[in-house]
Amino acid sequence: MDENIQSQTPPVNFKAETRQLLNILIHSLYTEREIFLRELISNASDALTRIEFEMLTNRDVLDPGAELCVRIVFDPDAHTLTIKDSGIGMTAGELANNLGTIAHSGARAFLDAVQSGDSRLSQMIGQFGVGFYSAFMVADWIRVTSRSYQPEVPAASWFSRGEETFSIDPAEKADRGTEVVLHIKDDALEFLQESRLKEVIKKHSDFIAYPIYLGEQNEQINRQTALWRQNPRQVDEKEYTEFYKQLTLDVEEPLAHAHLVVDAPVQMYALLFIPAQLERGIFSPRKENGLKLYSRKILIQEYSRELLPEYFKFVEGVVDSEDLPLNISRESVQSNRVVAQIKKLLASKLVETFKKLAEEKPEKYIQFWEAFGSQIKQGIVVEQAEVDALHPLLRFRTTTSLDEWSSLDDYLGRFKPEQEAIYYLLGDDPRSLIHSPHLDYYRKHELEVLLLTDPLDSFILLRLTKYKDHPLENAATAALKPNEKEEEELQSRLTGDETGDLLARFKQQLGDRVSDVRMTQRLIDSPARLVDPEGSINPEMQRVYRLLDKDFEVPKKILELNPNHPILIHLKDQPKEDPINALVIEQVYENALLIEGLHPDPAGMIERIQMIMEAALAHSGQGSNT
């Protein structure tokens, strides 16, 4: 059908969003127009994969012996570029469905990105499911002729100028597959030059699994390399990066890769990549998590989730095994013994890869940790076997490295000679946690404490109770005792009567909001802290319950006071009837609540703080007048 021949059937209107999108592609996007060829070759590759899979169980297809390949022919005189494949083909109805409409979500997301002024639109076209239409950036009309693999189904043709309508007509085509003919615009004639086409194919489609032939001489342009089946020693970093970008359409380079060639206990090839970010966002081409699963270089599952633990779902890549049957179903994959062995090998290799990244490229490991640390923690929470292998991957902020990440091994390397336990403290934010009164003793003795502020930290503490034979202990509850010299230094500056009087004042003011008030020698710089009564649920479980919104009652705390703090020393001298007593006691208590993350209404303290400030200024003024 020449572009001047009238269609035999009435034209069909594109939907409004499709028309809007086509208008953008035709009139607005001129940079990197070469990606249209990547998209058309990718579509052809998908069609070839589908027919290859169909023929595993069905030999009653048209042209069963046809070579699975992509052929590209260019005619500078006629201004046409033709992309052919011997894939699964389409019926007239499938042409209308596949090329006549665009998935609402894809079109809408693309249009939203256009309106936001995103500068990478040409890289995103294929990621919205609108890749075919990118051809209108270089073509003023497109004709698609296709013959389905079903022997009795006739060929059909789709035609459009990228304007308001498209048409579907009967067509003559003897062989199976799809032929896309583009009439190239005058400002895009570079895509009718052999050298330019070769450049684009090698840049974007070099690792397509089927041969791509160019020109009348049928010269194969792509390497058609199953890179994962090559010897890792023969593959350089550039090839890995190129393969990753073609596999994922990610514009960023991967943080790391793992290449396995294994003969026992199972025969397997695998190439795994760690992306730079956890979230793929709306522009990702991936519909779901999972690795591409091949059997003898034939794709049998586009997204296989059974090959890795769920907490490694961010990993991208390819797995190929000769030990899997070609016709294995999704259900049987889940229970297959070979898959279980593959899963174990892949998980082990990934852990090894992460450790190597930390050792050789610590700055990249920190990037990995900040993107995927939550996934590692989830693994510790849910993993039933070999969970210890994940422990060295953990990173924490600590009291001595607040702005840096430390591993548990880093922490052990800074151990004090007499230290036995690894100390940690739970809270909501490292910057506020660093001022916790629970750290007074540790600051004085220069003992490092892990600052655990991630909600998942409370969960991993239920599983991670020791590391390399060193127990993990909560700094708030650890049984630490001062030595004899320290006991002398910490002797209370209050007499017994003064102590009893202060405790009575606090108990009377706070009432049943606390279970008790007592003095302690654990505080040095802080006036007070809150601790749990003996027999209470431990702080870790309390936090877990709170995060899970479990219905449990937070135990009433014990308020411990520092008998040597200036606030208490001055408070003992205040007349009992002075209103400042109640104000200070309330503020000491609520400060302790605030730092524990338990205060229900921090803003409610403002009025009291102002009153205390007024009293302090008034007292200061009296002193200056005497």
Q: What is the DSSP string of 94-127?
A: HHHHHHH---HHHHHHHHHHHHTT-TTHHHHGGG
Query: Which of 200, 208, 100, 202 is closest to 156 using CA atoms?
Result: 100
pLDDT score recorded for residue 17: 63
**pLDDT tens per residue, range 372-393:** 999 999 999 998 888 999 999 9
Predicted pLDDT at 493: 76
Q: Which of 120-134, 267-281, 380-394, 450-464 has the lowest mean pLDDT?
A: 120-134
Does 7 fall in a domain? no
Query: In angstroms, rounded to a whole number, what is the distance separating the alpha carbons of residues 581 and 571?
Result: 7
317 three-class SS: strand
The alpha-carbon radius of gyration of the chain (Å, integer) is 35
Instruction: Answer yes or no: are the C-beta atoms of 73 and 180 closer than 8 Å.
Output: no
Q: Which tokens in the block code for residue 189?
A: 């004639």
In this structure, the answer to whether residues 104 and 201 fall within a common structural domain is yes
Per-residue pLDDT tens for 244-269?
A: 988 887 888 999 999 999 998 899 99
Same domain, 461 and 516: no
Q: How many CB atoms lie within 10 A of CB 63?
A: 16
Tokens found for residue 211: 């041969």
**Domain that residue 572 falls in:** 490-625
**CATH, residue 575:** 1.20.120.790
From 220, 236, 257, the end of a domain falls on 220
pLDDT of residue 133: 82
pLDDT of 2 strictly over 70: no
The whole-number pLDDT of residue 250 equals 81
Per-residue model confidence as pLDDT tens digits over 197-218: 999 998 888 878 899 999 988 8
Give yes or no for a contact between 531 and 480, defined as CB atoms under 8 angstroms apart.
no
Where residue 405 sits, what CATH number does that domain have? Answer: 3.40.50.11260
Tokens of 196: 């330019």
Statement to judge: residues 551 and 426 lie in one domain: no
pLDDT reading at 409 higher than 70: yes
At residue 561, does pLDDT exceed 90? yes
Residues paired with 157 in a beta bridge: 145, 169
Amino acid letter for position 128:
F
The per-residue pLDDT for 96 is 87
pLDDT band at 479, cuts 50/70/90?
Answer: confident
- Specify whether 452 is located in the same domain as 519: no
Q: pTM for the full model? A: 0.71
Please say if the pLDDT value at position 106 is more than 60: no
| CA–CA dist 392, 359 (Å, integer) | 11
- The CATH number given to whatever domain includes residue 24 is 3.30.565.10
SS3 344: helix
Pairing of strands 156-160, 12-13: unpaired
Q: Please give the pLDDT value at position 485.
A: 62
For residues 531 and 588, membership in a common domain is answered with yes
Q: Beta 256-262 vs 219-220: how paired, if at all?
A: unpaired
What residues form DSSP beta bridges with 73? Answer: 82
Computed over every residue of the chain, the mean pLDDT equals 86
Name the packing angle between helices 104-115 and 16-27 (round to 10°): 50
Per the structure, how many domains does the chain have?
A: 4
Residue type, 303: Y
The verdict on residue 509 lying in a domain is: yes
